[in-house]
């Protein structure tokens, strides 16, 4: 729960979703991460939390970091 709160604080989902405009590619996620000055993991976690990506789309590295 704390990670979700932190992710929302660092990259508000509405702003993130507007920035991505439906493009959830890895490159778009990296650009969004740079825009919000957060790690790719934060962006990907936000997309999973808000059901834009499936949980199984997280790389093993992201699961280990969680």
- Total domains in the fold of the chain: 1
Q: What angle do CA 15, 16, 17 make, to 5 degrees?
A: 95
Cα–Cα separations (whole angstroms), residue 9 to 35, 38, 56: 14, 11, 24
For 11-52, write each residue's pLDDT tens digit: 999 999 999 999 999 999 999 999 999 999 999 999 999 999
Q: Extract the tokens encoding 24.
A: 């959830």
Domain extent, residue 60, equals 2-65
Residue keyed to tokens 């929302």: 8
pTM of the model: 0.79
């Amino acid at each position: 729960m704390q990670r979700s709160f932190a992710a929302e604080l660092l990259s508000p989902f509405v702003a993130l979703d507007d920035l991505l405009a439906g493009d959830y590619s890895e490159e778009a996620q990296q650009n969004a991460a740079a825009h919000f000055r957060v790690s790719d993991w934060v962006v990907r976690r936000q997309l999973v939390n808000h059901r834009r990506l499936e949980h199984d789309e997280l790389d093993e590295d992201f699961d280990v970091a969680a």
